[in-house]
């Protein structure tokens, strides 16, 4: 079986972000900043590093700030230039003309539905999916690591990470087959299995490379866990028909859709920085003492 090269990535950003209220009442969750960069920019940079050429956002109402972030900011740029200020912090954010592509998910019916909303732009090509609220820190990044294996094996890939056994009911969980280093054959994937029933502790933290046939399954969606149209359920139907592998990320995960995870991300990334790291470290030490 031969597979087309991966050129496109879908970023579902149409969720309501209810766990992060009140911050997300009028502002997209994906614009929350970790230190000085919005989550969506980390996600787009992860895709570009992996060689992705076309960025596709699935958005909804109230997400205008996301579009502006990747556009020209004429007044800001003109003023900064006139004042001789460095443009380094905003250089390179603006994408090439015609990109990103924005499609609308009129109602937040679930991740599977959000992905399906990009079907016409994805067309007959494999595509990546990146959930921006899951911040993945690695060198190289998660998607670049996974693309390397995709180029070797083709088919479908689901990003994976180990979680403590008592947390498996919160995530999509992989039933693993043969394991070869970080690559695991996927026998099944179940969204939020009931406590005590998970087949492993390998969860799926929002990174995928899928073949376009998954869109045909999503043409006839079923309502799954939480009353939502789940991507996991659609992928599960492809397993056995096409190669499916899990790839265990070599790096650190921060669940920035969750308040504790978001604060941890800010602390970890601030401590790792040369400019503000020392000041933050000293302050944190003082607090803990
Ligand atoms: P979440 O499950 O975190 O949902 O979605 P959410 O609405 O963003 O946040 P909470 O749970 O209410 O706090 C995971 C990803 O899928 C997108 C979200 O934007 C997020 O990036 N999503 C989810 C959609 O685009 N559409 C949906 O219908 C659901």
3-state secondary structure the chain: CCCCCCCEEEEECCCCCHHHCCCCCCCCHHHCEECCEEHHHHHHHHHHHCCCCEEEEEECCCCHHHHHHCCCCHHHHHHHHHCCCCCCCCCCCCCCCCCCEEEECCCCCCHHHHHHCCHHHHCCCCEEEECCCEEEECCCCHHHHHHHHHHHHCCEEEEEEECCHHHHHHCEEEEEEEEECCEEEEEEEEECCCCCCCCCCEECCCEEEECCHHHHHHCCCCECHHHCECHHHHHHHHECCECEEEEECCCEEEECCCHHHHHHHHHHHHHCCCCCHHHHHHHHHHHHC
pLDDT band at 2 (very low <50, low <70, confident <90, very high): low
Least confident of 5-19, 71-85, 122-136, 166-180: 71-85
Nearest CA owner, ligand 1 atom 7:
15
For residue 289, what pLDDT is reported? Answer: 87
The residue that leads in pLDDT, 113 or 196, is 113
Q: 58 CB less than 6 Å from ligand 1?
A: yes
Q: What does the pLDDT look like over 44-86, one tens digit per residue?
A: 999 999 999 999 999 998 888 999 999 888 888 889 999 999 8
In a domain, 189, yes or no: yes
pTM: 0.95
Asked if pLDDT for residue 170 goes beyond 80, the answer is yes
Q: From the centroid of its chain, how far is CA 70?
A: 17
Q: Strands 134-137, 252-255: parallel, antiparallel or unpaired by DSSP?
A: antiparallel
Q: What does the pLDDT look like over 234-280, one tens digit per residue?
A: 999 999 999 999 999 999 999 999 999 999 999 999 999 999 999 99
Q: What does the pLDDT look like over 183-212, one tens digit per residue?
A: 999 999 998 999 989 999 999 999 999 999
Domain of 241, in residue numbers: 8-257
- Domain count of the chain? 1
For residue 221, what pLDDT is reported? Answer: 85
Question: How far, in Å, from the CA of 43 to the mean position of ligand 1?
Answer: 15
In a domain, 34, yes or no: yes
In a domain, 123, yes or no: yes
In a domain, 276, yes or no: no
Question: How far, in Å, from the CA of 12 to the mean position of ligand 1?
Answer: 8
pLDDT band at 227 (very low <50, low <70, confident <90, very high): confident
For residue 216, what pLDDT is reported? Answer: 95
For residue 89, what pLDDT is reported? Answer: 86
In a domain, 191, yes or no: yes
In a domain, 272, yes or no: no
Residue with tokens 């990044």: 141
Nearest CA owner, ligand 1 atom 25:
14
CATH number at residue 40: 3.90.550.10
In a domain, 213, yes or no: yes
In a domain, 106, yes or no: yes
Question: How far, in Å, from the CA of 15 to the mean position of ligand 1?
Answer: 4
Best mutation site among 257, 258, 259 for ligand 1, i.e. most ligand atoms within 8 A of its Cβ?
Answer: 257
For residue 27, what pLDDT is reported? Answer: 92
pLDDT band at 223 (very low <50, low <70, confident <90, very high): confident
Asked if pLDDT for residue 15 goes beyond 70, the answer is yes
């Amino acid at each position: 079986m031969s597979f087309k090269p991966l050129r496109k990535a879908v970023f579902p950003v149409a969720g309501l972000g209810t766990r992060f209220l009140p911050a997300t009442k009028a502002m997209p969750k994906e614009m929350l900043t970790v230190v000085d960069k919005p989550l969506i920019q980390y996600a787009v940079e992860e895709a570009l590093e992996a060689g992705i050429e076309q960025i596709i956002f699935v958005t909804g109402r109230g997400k205008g700030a996301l579009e502006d972030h990747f556009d020209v900011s004429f007044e800001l740029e003109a003023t900064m230039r006139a004042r001789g200020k460095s443009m380094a912090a905003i250089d390179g954010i603006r994408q090439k003309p015609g990109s990103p592509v924005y499609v609308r998910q009129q109602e937040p019916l679930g991740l599977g539905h959000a992905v399906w909303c990009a079907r016409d732009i994805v067309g007959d090509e494999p595509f990546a999916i990146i959930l921006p609220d899951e911040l993945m820190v690695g060198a190289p990044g998660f998607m670049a690591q996974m693309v390397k294996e995709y180029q070797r094996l083709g088919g479908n890939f689901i990003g994976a990470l180990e979680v403590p056994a008592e947390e498996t009911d919160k995530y999509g969980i992989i039933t693993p087959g043969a394991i070869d280093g970080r690559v695991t054959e996927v026998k099944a994937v179940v969204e939020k299995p009931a406590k005590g029933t998970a087949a492993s502790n390998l969860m799926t933290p929002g990174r995928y490379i899928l073949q376009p046939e998954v869109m045909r399954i999503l043409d006839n969606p079923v309502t799954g866990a939480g009353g939502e149209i789940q991507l996991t359920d659609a992928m599960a139907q492809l397993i056995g028909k096409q190669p499916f592998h899990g790839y265990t990320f070599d790096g650190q995960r921060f669940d920035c859709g969750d308040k504790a995870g978001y604060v941890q991300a800010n602390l970890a990334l601030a401590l790792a920085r040369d400019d503000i790291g020392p000041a933050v470290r000293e302050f944190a030490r003082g607090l803990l003492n």
